[in-house]
Chain A
Amino acid sequence: MKGNIIGKRIPRIDSVPKATGTAEYTVDLKLPGMIYGKILRSPLPHARIKSLDVSAAEALPGVCAVITAADVPMGKFSFFQWLADKTIFSSDKVRYVGDEVAAVAAIDADTAEKAIELIQVDYDPLPAVFETEEAMTADAPLIHDQESNIGFKVERHFGDPDNAFESCDFVVEGCYKTDRVAHCCLEVSNCVASWTPEGRLSIWTNAQAPHTQRQEVARILEIPLQDVRIINSHMGGGFGSKLVMDMKLPIAAVLSKKTGRPVKIQNTRAEEFSTAKTRYGYTMYVKTGAKKDGTLQARTVRVIADNGAYHDKGPATLNFSSMMFATLYNIPNIHYEGMVVYTNKQMSTAFRGFGNPQLTFACEVQLDELAEKIGMDPVEIRRINANTPGQKLQCGAVVPTCGLRECIEVAAQNIAWKEKYNRKDKLRGVGVANMVHTAAGGRYYGYNATDSFIKVADDGTVSIVTPGLEMGQGVHTVVAMIVAEELGLDMKSVKVLSNDTDLTPYDLGSWGSRATFVVGNAALATAREARVVIIETAAKMLDTKPEFIDLENGMAVARGPGMPEKSVSMGKLAAYAINNMKAPISVKGQWADDIPEDWDIKTEFVKNVRSFAFATQTCEVEIDKDTGEVKVLKFVAAHETGTTMNEMLAEGQIEGAVMQGIGFTLMESMTLDNGRVVNDGFLDYKLPTFGEQPEIDVQLIETGDPHGPYGAKGIGEAGLVPTAAALANAIYNASGIRVTELPITREFMLNALREK
């Protein structure tokens, strides 16, 4: 769709503050009287705390408070409270290098750091376990007081895979692994906590889900919800890392309470690498069967996810990947078994794709293996099995619109598939992978709705209060575009107010590619309400009927048969509403996902997703025979957007995600030494730089969506879901080396090339 605003390449509304350095992030925040907190973390992966002595730290000049488990509520916490397993501080034992043990607040960061070093902790080391499958063995050390280290399990079953495999002409089986990778937001995790004299807690932080984090803070501190306020600033990256409350928040809150001063806690980069949560590492045993003609008949998987030391988004991640597993290609017989397993490592959490990038890597690589066995071109097998619009899936989900076929065609064409796939010269090759992802978040809270408010000021500007959480993906710009489109305004006349749980309506936050869809829909509903009121007002003012009024260029214009054109500016109109009608223009709008009332998430998990977005990525690589280096020459990323709200923003999401995918596939990995992250800086945790960026050809396929705003689908996460598989498949095409484990290091490639 192309409107006056929607569909255009409009610059972000926050780009000028960001380009001039005036945009304020939480790290920039300084409150009067503010002091600095620092957390003492466990140096050991698994140990009993024998004793703890904070007296030297307390005695250090400049130290304002020292707190330990004795000073905080010690109820257990987790994102899913039924899995609660973590206290604010460890009192009896520590379970990973980085576990919180104590904290200090001091007049400056240097003093706080010095004080931390003065705290004496006597540990009794326990045997630790770092690999999931080792942690599952009978004699593995138990990390929690549970019978085993398996923390959560889920199983889904559709059709009869066992029988189906029997009747398949071709079956492939394999094990695939993905590593834990770090979000690497350029702004480190940090917060400032402060209490009002009345006893209300404000926390400024970079939260992707402020309203649920507010609940989490209240829950862990055992204080009433109304006493907590979360305030966001601009945010230096999220990618899933800031969905669930970090322990810094309650720790800063307690330090602030104790000292009566605002307390800031900020990670160092090294601390961020070694303690911030990572992507869940998946080990996946996959089996796929097809008929001679390439139609997929059955697929099973066993996923073992690396939980790290405590629970976080594991169940959501496993559930979500199970659903995408059951959706792509509509395979009639499916078995999915997933579990999260505790290890003595930093926790894992959501990371752009909720497990889908991991599982898509395994499945889409295996699909190539299957195609090869059948003797079929990888693009062809994907064409044959592609989902189609209106499809009702075997697993129960419905795919209202689907552009997978178009994605496949354009991705294949733009990489010159036919010509390059069969070229067998030097170590160059092309690869392809498909994916499906949610385009609208998830419903697993049982609630998927939100509101916004609009007011028209007497200067003609329109403000919208939205819970849309801006972390760089552009949702505030999209919200402003929707309002401008509906009310005939330019972008400058729309203000977006957000970022404060006292101000914004309840919302679940920015994750699951849901913000444009859910928050955008609410903005659209609100703007349309406002439009009605504005037009009614204009009709009164211009003495005509509402149906003759249009809103354009900041004016309400009356045009009708046989009447002279009349118009009035938005400002005058608002003033008229205030002064003459005694009814200032302010409206509320809402969007609510019509979740079926009898929906049982346990048995019908597939209804978790409202809309789906499909995509195909192809790429070309060249491998250096002497060093094993994989050079990515080009990516084509064909993604279904439903309706492209803003081409520039959509491209940016996908380009950035593809680069994260390249990092995930070829470069990124946490290197551990007895549980301690040793590559805790950007020189040794290899993040893609300007030098690694290939040409990225983004193709946006518009298929519409019956529920999205203007037919839009969310595309925030999709961009990295198929990237790893496309790369691994291209590597196979180039070298005949089948890669089943990420990251694909140069060393691995070189050894594999030499073995051949």
Chain B
Amino acid sequence: MKAFDYERPSTFEDACRILHAAGGSKKVLAGGTDLIVKTRHKVMAPEGVVSLKDVPGLSDISFDPEKGLFIGPMLRLSDVETADAVKTQYPALAAAVATIGSTQVRNRATIGGNICNAAPSADSPPILMAYGASVVIGDGKNEREVLLEDFFTGPGETVLRVGEIVKQIVVPAPPQNIFAIYIKAARSALDIALVGVALLAVFDPADRVVKDLKVALAAVAPTPVRSRQMERIVIGNKLDDTIIEKAVVESCTDACSITDIRTTEGYRDTLVETHTRQALEAARSWIEKGGVL
């Protein structure tokens, strides 16, 4: 592997300062599971890496029933998956994270890394988008909060400017009466998503009408994308056969799948339809049973 420098600042400000001074030639190092692979593959050749290991507080997680969930970017995926608040309040996030890589990978990889790596196929962003998550970005002086769905600008590209680091992931408190699910299509038990479908439905238990719906897709566009056309069809309606069929027909409208080494555009679209239908069916039966399995 090509040599690079390594720095391990002990404050957030220092980390930002180093990154800023390097003008983009140094990279944040979180768990390294993407960064090392890319460097070894020569897709990336950083002059140096800035480890966040010693920056305090970046692995915290807390939940407030009003304000929601606050996750430090350095929290390992295996800790996200097993955190009580995640398991009880955001079970679909726990499930999505559990599909990532292997135990060993999740023991190192961080949630911040999974987001900032900005792979179109990453498994946590779609479900986080469905939950309405945003990220808090800091540069050592100022902070800004960006909705996750506005965060990605292309494969491996985000709104992050040189010297900025994601400081926190904020997931709003889940409303009452919701159903959320993440479905990943993969070729084997250890795989990158061919497509991922995240869905969150808020419903009225009395009349079973879907009041709000967010669907976000992985691996079908240069960034994770919301399936807005489809959402519009469902919102305000009950999930019956007709609505589900209409929604499925529109499930790919906001996608622009491509053919790559993993599969073809056509198959991706089919998988989106299939798994969107599955997700909607699951939502329907959940709603019909009054929100219990």
Q: Report whether A671 and B261 are in contact in the complex, using a CB–CB cutoff of 8 Å.
A: yes
Given contact pairs A110-B3, A627-B274, A679-B261, A686 touches B188 in the complex (Cβ within 8 A): yes
Q: Report whether B189 and A689 are in contact in the complex, using a CB–CB cutoff of 8 Å.
A: yes
Q: Report whether B261 and A747 are in contact in the complex, using a CB–CB cutoff of 8 Å.
A: no
Task: Let me know if A475 is at the binding interface, CB within 8 A.
Answer: no
Q: Report A506 CB to chain B, min CB distance, Å.
A: 42
Q: Most chain-A Cβ atoms within 10 A of its Cβ — which of B41, B192, B267?
A: B267
Within 8 A of B (CB), among A286-306: none
A692 to B271, alpha carbons, bound, how many Å?
20
Task: Let me know if A112 is at the binding interface, CB within 8 A.
Answer: no
Given contact pairs A627-B185, A688-B188, A689-B188, A750 touches B3 in the complex (Cβ within 8 A): no
Given contact pairs A667-B187, A683-B191, A747 touches B3 in the complex (Cβ within 8 A): no
Within 8 A of B (CB), among A660-676: 667, 671
Number of A residues with CB within 8 Å of any CB on chain B: 22
A213 to B258, alpha carbons, bound, how many Å?
46
Task: Let me know if A219 is at the binding interface, CB within 8 A.
Answer: no
A54 to B13, alpha carbons, bound, how many Å?
46
Interface string of A735-756 (1 = CB under 8 A from B): 0000000000011001000000
Q: Which residues of A contact B278 (CB under 8 A)?
A: 626
Q: Which residues of B contact A72 (CB under 8 A)?
A: none
A664 to B271, alpha carbons, bound, how many Å?
24
A667 to B192, alpha carbons, bound, how many Å?
15
Task: Let me know if A690 is at the binding interface, CB within 8 A.
Answer: yes
Q: Which among B1, B41, B263 is the interface contact of A747 at CB below 8 angstroms? A: B263
Q: Report B186 CB to chain A, min CB distance, Å.
A: 9
Name which residue of chain B comes closest to A269, CB basis.
Answer: B40
Q: Report B119 CB to chain A, min CB distance, Å.
A: 12
Q: Report whether B188 and A692 are in contact in the complex, using a CB–CB cutoff of 8 Å.
A: yes
Task: Let me know if A691 is at the binding interface, CB within 8 A.
Answer: yes
Interface of A is mostly: loop
Q: Which among A270, A679, A747 is the interface contact of B264 at CB below 8 angstroms? A: A747
Q: Which residues of B contact A270 (CB under 8 A)?
A: 41
Q: Which residues of A contact B277 (CB under 8 A)?
A: 626
Q: Which residues of A contact B206 (CB under 8 A)?
A: none
Q: Report whether A683 and B263 are in contact in the complex, using a CB–CB cutoff of 8 Å.
A: no
Q: Report whether B189 and A686 are in contact in the complex, using a CB–CB cutoff of 8 Å.
A: no
Q: Which residues of B contact A691 (CB under 8 A)?
A: 188-190
Task: Let me know if A678 is at the binding interface, CB within 8 A.
Answer: yes
Q: Report whether B267 and A686 are in contact in the complex, using a CB–CB cutoff of 8 Å.
A: no
Q: Which among A627, A671, A690, A750 is the interface contact of B189 at CB below 8 angstroms? A: A690
Q: Which among A678, A679, A689, A747 is the interface contact of B190 at CB below 8 angstroms? A: A689
Task: Let me know if A53 is at the binding interface, CB within 8 A.
Answer: no
A110 to B278, alpha carbons, bound, how many Å?
49
A626 to B262, alpha carbons, bound, how many Å?
18
Q: Report B108 CB to chain A, min CB distance, Å.
A: 16
Interface string of B157-178 (1 = CB under 8 A from A): 0000000000000000000000
Q: Report whether B271 and A667 are in contact in the complex, using a CB–CB cutoff of 8 Å.
A: no
Q: Report whether A686 and B191 are in contact in the complex, using a CB–CB cutoff of 8 Å.
A: yes
Task: Let me know if A684 is at the binding interface, CB within 8 A.
Answer: yes
Given contact pairs A110-B3, A671-B261, A684-B261, A746 touches B267 in the complex (Cβ within 8 A): yes
Q: Report whether A626 and B274 are in contact in the complex, using a CB–CB cutoff of 8 Å.
A: yes
Name which residue of chain A comes closest to B187, CB basis.
Answer: A686
Name which residue of chain A comes closest to B267, CB basis.
Answer: A747
Task: Let me know if B270 is at the binding interface, CB within 8 A.
Answer: yes
Interface residues of A (CB under 8 A from B): 110, 114, 270, 626-627, 667, 671, 678-679, 682-684, 686-692, 746-747, 750
Interface residues of B (CB under 8 A from A): 1-3, 41, 185, 187-192, 261-264, 266-267, 270-271, 274, 277-278
- Give 9 closest A-B pairs by Cβ, nearest first: A691-B189, A626-B274, A747-B267, A689-B189, A678-B261, A689-B190, A671-B261, A686-B187, A686-B188
Can you add 8 more A-B contacts, CB < 8 Å, to A678-B261, A684-B261, A690-B189?
A270-B41, A627-B271, A679-B261, A683-B191, A686-B188, A689-B189, A691-B189, A750-B270
29 examples of A-B residue contacts, CB within 8 angstroms: A110-B1, A110-B2, A114-B2, A270-B41, A626-B274, A626-B277, A626-B278, A627-B185, A627-B271, A627-B274, A671-B261, A678-B261, A683-B190, A683-B191, A683-B192, A684-B192, A684-B262, A687-B188, A688-B188, A689-B188, A689-B189, A691-B188, A691-B189, A746-B187, A746-B267, A747-B263, A747-B266, A750-B267, A750-B270
